[in-house]
Chains A and B, each alone.
Chain A
Amino acid sequence: MKFNILGILIIFLVWELLSLFVNRLFLPSPVAVINNLFALLDTPELYGDIWATFKRTIVGLSMGTIIGVIIGILLGFFRPLYKTLRLPMDFIRSIPTTALFPLFIVLFGLGDLVKIFVSAWAACLIVLVNTLYGFQNISQIRLLVGKLKKFSFRKTVCLIILPSTLSYIAAGIRVSLSFSLIVELVAEMFLGSQNGLGHRIFAASSVLAMEEVYVGILLIGFLGYVLNSLMLFLEHKIIHWSGQTS
């Protein structure tokens, strides 16, 4: 805690010093930015923007995760299907989601749907690969236990496969989290958004309200940090057995 506070203080000090020598337009002083932040905290629009970004990222991430896990497990079960789809899948994964934005606009328009979809798309591809990877690392002995005890398909998935892959899935979700947030913000900037932190930053920069741009950036950093901590907390609670010897 002591070191955390020290770290933050150092960053602000360096920032303050830099802002003395750099054009105010590019780098406003932290004090001005903080003042701006407190002023904005009184306006309901700011909370609306934070909520909009948070909601779309989380909804997209959840949907992408669910679909990714389902496809991952299916591909894990049916090796021929996986072998057939590996090349096209790797190809699609290599395309940055942002390159597909024009296509998504045509498909889904400019509403909320497209912004949830991009975040889901980014998450799905990462979670899918992680699930597959987890599937390949399931303990053969545990699978044999299921076979010997004549577990049904459902029981095998729920009691052996899903829990075994869970820590891989969780790692996938944490990586996807930042990716979902990135594409979400870009989508808000360029896909005709009326709200969200991405929209706010973009709008502020177009009228050169730099303090507000920095407020937006700080808030996004804060949001990303909170989401990541939340995930870590949940991971720890749910996957209690991970890292235990045995």
Chain B
Amino acid sequence: MPNLAITNLTKIYNAQSKNPQLVFDNFSLEIKSNIIVAVVGVNGCGKTTLLNCLADLIPFELGRIKIDDKDNQNTKIGFVFQNYRESLLPWLKNIDNVACTLEQSTLSKLEKHVYIKNWAVERNIVLPWGSYPYQCSGGQQQLLALVREFINQPKLLLMDEPFTALDYEKRLAWRQQLELLWQKCPTTIILVSHDIEEAIYLADEVIVLGNQPTKIFGHYTIDLPRPRVPVLLQSEKFSELYRKVSQSFLQTIPVL
């Protein structure tokens, strides 16, 4: 059974105005449970709109989005922003950044702190809980932003290009961190990216989206062994997948 089912999604921007913009026209997609799916595509192909519809941040005209057979409005969905640093609250200590979005709302503040620390210890996650986010390294801030989502065990975790602002070597480390955390707390992840290498490296499936109204230009299964390690980048298999995905990516660009 698929975990995420999008059926006949139709989304129009400025529907009431003179020049409505049709972004999704009867768009359907099914995604299996507990896998990482990377969505790649050129700017303006509807990647971010898709995430926003999934996260129930914007309404859509027609269609259904079901997660484990429940409407997306009634499901726990996590979201990691492109600018994850800004998404942390600098006036709260690290632990309170996690505690304020923790869903066990019946717990007292102290109980929440204990719960978070235990959760982290069980997964070998070390963070300076008593510090403020701005006192932490970039890697720790990343981890904090991830922990904040994973701890709530979301049915679906959405990520909007969370690596774009980083150096290449930092991106490699961050991919590793994400994969490690995901293996400890499995969930379905939809990762939006415009970097094909990153998409293949992290994902179990890569979906190439093309221009409006949004269509699926390619849907690839990435059968590379996990955990993914940097040396994979040099393998023949990786190059082959890269060739396939980039070929279909290039098809989405109308004029080049």
Contact = CB atoms under 8 A, between A and B. Distances in A.
Interface stretch (B82-90, B199-207, B234-242): B82-90
Contact of B89 (A148, A163, A239): A163
Contacts of A245: 134
B101 A145 contact: yes
Given A147-B57, A159-B100, A141 B87 contact: yes
A244 B89 contact: no
Interface in B69-101: 77, 79, 81, 83, 85-92, 100-101
Contact of A141 (B55, B86, B132, B133): B86
Contacts of B92: 159
A138 to B, nearest CB: 11
A244 B135 CA distance: 9
B101 to A, nearest CB: 5
Contacts of B91: 163, 166, 239-241
Nearest to A241: B90
A246 B134 contact: yes
A144 interface: yes
Given A160-B89, A240-B132, A246-B90, A141 B141 contact: no
Interface residues of A, number: 19
A240 B55 CA distance: 33
Nearest to B136: A246
Contacts of B88: 246
Contacts of B86: 139, 141-142
A76 to B, nearest CB: 18
A244 B81 contact: no
Interface in A132-187: 139, 141-142, 144-145, 147-149, 155, 159-160, 163, 166
A241 B100 contact: no
A241 B79 contact: no
Contacts of B85: 246
Contact of B57 (A142, A144, A244, A246): A144
Task: Name, among B85, B91, B100, B134, the residue most crowded by chain A CB atoms within 10 Å (CB to CB).
Answer: B91
Given A148-B77, A149-B101, A159-B89, A246 B141 contact: yes
Interface in A120-136: none
B134 A244 contact: yes
A129 to B, nearest CB: 23
A160 B101 CA distance: 12
Contacts of A159: 89, 92, 100
Contacts of B90: 241, 244, 246
A239 B91 CA distance: 8
A149 B91 CA distance: 18
A88 to B, nearest CB: 32
Given A142-B89, A241-B90, A148 B134 contact: no
Contact of B81 (A144, A149, A240): A144
A166 B89 CA distance: 13
Contact of A148 (B55, B100, B133): B55
Contacts of A160: 89
Contacts of B141: 246
Closest 3 CB pairs of A and B: A241-B90, A244-B134, A163-B91
Interface of A: 139, 141-142, 144-145, 147-149, 155, 159-160, 163, 166, 239-241, 244-246
20 contacts: A139-B86, A142-B86, A142-B89, A144-B57, A144-B79, A145-B81, A148-B55, A149-B100, A159-B89, A159-B100, A160-B89, A163-B89, A240-B132, A241-B90, A244-B90, A244-B134, A245-B134, A246-B85, A246-B88, A246-B133
